[in-house]
């Protein structure tokens, strides 16, 4: 049964993410690939498991600026050798999350 409130759009977009601990401290950081995205969340693919419940996610825009949002990890699972899928629910304000998604989609649309 589909639980998403909005359909996700398939994309390929590299992002930088920072793991945030329960007490708000930033810990590990890495790079991942957005595989699909919607105003409510996204699927992040990484080469290592993400061991936190909150992330800050930073991406480049079509005009080489930076856009950022935050999210909670809903699930994380290994899907292959050195490949992990992590489902993320956006926790930032709906305006911030919408801007993040819009900017990712602009890059995707420009790159075809």
Residue 55: is its pLDDT beyond 90?
yes
- d(C-alpha 50, C-alpha 64), whole Å: 27
Q: Per residue in 24-52, pLDDT tens? A: 899 899 999 999 999 999 999 999 999 89
Question: Which pLDDT belongs to residue 62?
Answer: 87
How many domains are contained in the chain? 1
> Does 74 map to a domain?
yes
More confident residue, 4 or 29: 29
> Does 75 map to a domain?
yes
More confident residue, 95 or 84: 84
Residue 79: which domain range? 9-106
Residue 11: is its pLDDT beyond 70?
yes
What's the predicted TM-score (pTM) here?
Answer: 0.87
Residue 17: is its pLDDT beyond 90?
yes
Rounded to 10 degrees, the C-alpha dihedral 25/20/14/112 comes to -120
**CB distance 41 to 87 below 8 Å:** yes
> Does 111 map to a domain?
no
CATH number for the domain harbouring residue 32: 2.40.10.220
Structure tokens of 95?
């305006």
> Does 28 map to a domain?
yes
């Amino acid at each position: 049964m589909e639980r998403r409130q909005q359909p996700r759009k398939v994309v390929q977009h590299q992002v930088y993410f920072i793991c945030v601990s329960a007490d708000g401290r930033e810990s590990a950081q890495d790079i991942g690939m957005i595989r699909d995205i919607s105003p409510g969340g996204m699927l992040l693919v990484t080469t290592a498991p993400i061991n936190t419940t909150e992330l800050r996610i930073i991406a480049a825009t079509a005009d080489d600026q930076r856009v950022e949002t935050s999210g909670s990890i809903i699930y994380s699972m290994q899907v292959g050798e050195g490949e992990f899928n992590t489902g993320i629910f956006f926790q930032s304000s709906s305006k911030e999350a919408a801007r993040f998604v819009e900017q990712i989609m602009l890059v995707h649309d420009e790159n075809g």
